[in-house]
Structure 1
Amino acid sequence: MFFQNRNIFNILFEAIPEGVIIVDEAQTILAANSSAESMFGYNEKELSNKKLDILIPKEIIDVHKHHFSKFINSNNIRKITHNSNLRGVKKNNTQFPIEIGLNPFSVENNNFVLALLIDITLRKKTEKKIETLNTQLEKQVTQRTFQLKNTIKQLKLLNLNYKKEIVKRVQAENKIKLTLKKEQELSKLKTKFLTLVSHEFKTPLSGILTSTMLLNKYQLKSEQNRRAKHIKTIESKVHYLDNILNDFLSVERLDANEVNYKITKFNLSNVINEVVYNTNILLKSGQKINIPQNIDNFILQQDKIILELILSNLMYNAVKYSPENSTIDVKIIKNGKNISFAIIDTGIGIPLNDQNYIFNRYFRAENALNTQGTGIGLSIVKAHVENLGGTISFKSKEHKGSVFTLKLPIINNTL
């Protein structure tokens, strides 16, 4: 019943570089793309109509059946799993490490699961290699430290001014240790960044694929509402991916000091209308945005594009972390040479213990870990605001909501 339009299905199915397998409630494999077949060592179409058990280690088949039944009844999407114990079984009975993302869906009252599979054999080897290199590096530092200590002892005996020499050697030792620590932190940061990009892209792409497949099912004019629902899902996820890409580009430019601010005069109402228009795509059921009506004559001399980016980021967060049937209020006040913006929501709020770190790059509050996000948006906003001569602050209470306040000079002559 998936294959009402086989050409479109095959194009989308085979376009995914990761392995994709679709199974029914009986754990029978209905479809597998070429990446999945190659990953498990099977020929084309060889996996079709086979039991999923052939891809699972024998010792966990019974446990897997229990978890599968529980999962398909829960109807919850499971993101890519980082359990290092997950393994797949190739046709030649060899096992290999694997990551799995699961996405349940229904067609004509029948339940299915779309599994996104990633062979992480190479990653495991790379991690082992990095671990070995770090161990070797630590040994080198230990050896150098030992050598420095011996040198210091010799200097004490040979140099009347040995106290100054000891200080220099200790400083050199600390510098080496600090360099090693920074290198290790940078390595962890890069790994975290790559993992973050992988997660934040794969889940929306999986949703886009599922919605696109289901669009083929609704051909009748009376099913327009269902088609519109899936089209809106696709638009929302594409818009989300576009925002992530823009954030990553902003981080790179900020780090390289390559942001060229363009200060121009513009009407603030144009920026507000554009931000609200783009945010409407992401609104949940019953959500609405209230904006002030007295800003038509507000003229600013700032970077229009960056201001739009800043306000969009704050608005997207307010929508994302607020429930259905809630209101996001935008307040704007001119005060002398400055203008203030307040974005007010009644969402999940920020836990008190997390509030000191909310502008740190990649940091996410504890109550937001299960919501899609990269943790870089607010750090970008803060950097741009300060570069434009402004300030940003917030007040928040968990389960009650947040108020983010942005203050900028109306006329920016500093850049």
Structure 2
Amino acid sequence: MKVFKKNSNIFNLLSEGVSEGIVVVNSKQLIVANNSSTEEIFGYEKDELVGKPLNILVPQTYHASHHGHFENFFENSGKRQMAAGKELYGLRKSGEEFPLEVGLNPFELYGNKYVMALIMDISSRKEQELKITELNTKLEEKIEKRTSELNTTIGKLTEEVKLREEAEKSAKEALKKERELNDLKTKFLSMVSHEFKTPLSSILTSTVLLSKYSSTEQQDKREKHINTIKNKVKYLDNILNDFLSVERLESGKVNYKFSRFPLSKLVNEVVYSANMLLKTGQQILYPRNIDEVTIEFDEKILELILSNLVHNAIKYSPENTEIDIKIAVRKKVLYIQVIDQGIGIPEEEQKYVFNRYFRAENALLVQGTGIGLNIVKAHLENLGGTINFKSKENVGTTFSIQVPFLNKPVAL
């Protein structure tokens, strides 16, 4: 529980925007964290569940079997749906039992094993299924009763059949959408857990090692671990900023601020920052003929867009390669290309590149959240711009953006 108290702000930020209940349980089946949706679903007050045994959310008749399922899951852990194919029930504080679905996702943090459960109250869906069953029963009774009157009632029967088919189709589509949304949210939470766990572990390790270097001549070693901590904190801060950007874009709360600024100033800042991320032998080719160009646009947004493209080019390119930035201004439109010699994007996956949380198969071992390009595309569309790309696996990728504004032309 102490681990989650240290990271409560991160957990709250990530979990409170989720409508489903989220419960984190340790190996002793004690609840160490939950979101407010869990408290609403089960009828508990804020923080009332923390420290309580998981069995208080399970009807008494299922306690014995639930303990065995939990132990078996810890022994053979892996992401799965709990009791697939069986009906599950939860127990509200009021004593009311209700149907639910539970997705389980094990993870390890600071050497301790936990299970994260994503809980969905499916009472409304069960009611809908019951209505369909009742509709089918009534329909069968009518068919049996009116067989002798088939010629005069065929129109009514056809309508009843149509209603049944539409109801079944509607229920199947609703169930499919629920499962797709559940899978997306489970994937998102798993990705976030992984992306936070790795830098947090590095920070902890560097903090422990710092205490061992107490003499003056060990300053270089201290600086090395301090820089590691700074870099990992900056990485975590960038992830959180991406999540906040997604929320602002979805809610329409983005306020763009236009100003006039030298294009070279922005490019210099992006390249300076990117130079610290370069791998051995990598180099960035600076764009030509931009020193006299002044543009009017949202400077922070343009810096975010260019930084994302350049950082991706560095991240997905091997050592001893070039990242080429080309910029031109023609007819009040800014053109930017970022060209790399990296791993490229598999052709069959290119249609998903701008989808939120998407990671190509050949990029899964590289750190990332799959949010950056989605944010870039959303900002450009809001500002009347466009983004597209060409890519070939193991050859490289070229991202091209167009942004409308006012200025004098330059040649590529």
Contact 1:340 1:405 in 2 (8 A): yes
Taking the aligned partners of 2:324 and 2:312, their CA distance within structure 1 comes to 13
Shift of 1:341: 0.8
Shift of 1:252: 1.2
Alignment coverage as a number of residue pairs: 312
Contact 1:141 1:177 in 2 (8 A): no
In structure 2, the partner of 1:204 is: 199
Shift of 1:15: 8.2
Taking the aligned partners of 1:212 and 1:169, their CA distance within structure 2 comes to 64
Contact 2:288 2:327 in 1 (8 A): no
Q: 1:262 to 1:162 in 2, by over 3 A?
A: farther
In structure 1, the partner of 2:339 is: 344
In structure 1, the partner of 2:329 is: 334
Secondary structure (helix, strand or coil) at the match of 2:317 reads coil
- Please report the RMSD computed on the Cα atoms of aligned residues, expressed in angstroms: 3.6
Deviation per CA, 1:120-140: give whole Å up to 9, x if none. 2xx3xx46x65xx66x77665
Secondary structure (helix, strand or coil) at the match of 1:282 reads coil
Please tell me whether residue 384 in structure 1 is matched to residue 379 in structure 2: yes
Please tell me whether residue 147 in structure 1 is matched to residue 134 in structure 2: yes
Q: 1:270 to 1:164 in 2, by over 3 A?
A: farther
Structure 2 length-normalised TM: 0.65
Secondary structure (helix, strand or coil) at the match of 1:305 reads helix
Given the alignment, which residue of 233, 244, 247 partners 1:249?
244
Deviation per CA, 1:224-272: give whole Å up to 9, x if none. 4433332332222222111111111111122222222223333222222
Given the alignment, which residue of 76, 86, 89 partners 1:85?
76
* Aligned pairs (5 A) from 1:279-290: 279-290=274-285
In structure 1, the partner of 2:178 is: 183
Contact 2:288 2:326 in 1 (8 A): no
Q: 1:119 to 1:225 in 2, by over 3 A?
A: same
Taking the aligned partners of 1:340 and 1:183, their CA distance within structure 2 comes to 41
Query: Where do 5+ consecutive residues of structure 2 fail to align?
Result: 9-25, 30-72, 79-104, 144-149, 408-412
Contact 2:327 2:335 in 1 (8 A): yes
Structure 1 length-normalised TM: 0.65
Q: 1:256 to 1:333 in 2, by over 3 A?
A: same
Contact 1:291 1:329 in 2 (8 A): yes
Given the alignment, which residue of 202, 207, 231 partners 2:226?
231
Identity score, percent = 50
Residue type at the aligned position of 2:341: T
Residue type at the aligned position of 2:365: N
Q: 1:393 to 1:205 in 2, by over 3 A?
A: same
Please tell me whether residue 366 in structure 1 is matched to residue 365 in structure 2: no
Shift of 1:151: 5.7
Given the alignment, which residue of 94, 100, 107 partners 2:108?
100
Q: 1:193 to 1:84 in 2, by over 3 A?
A: farther
Tell which deviates more after alignment, 191-200 or 171-180.
171-180
Query: Where do 5+ consecutive residues of structure 1 fail to align?
Result: 1-11, 19-37, 42-81, 88-96, 102-114
Shift of 1:98: 6.4
Taking the aligned partners of 1:166 and 1:150, their CA distance within structure 2 comes to 12
In structure 2, the partner of 1:194 is: 189
Shift of 1:206: 0.6
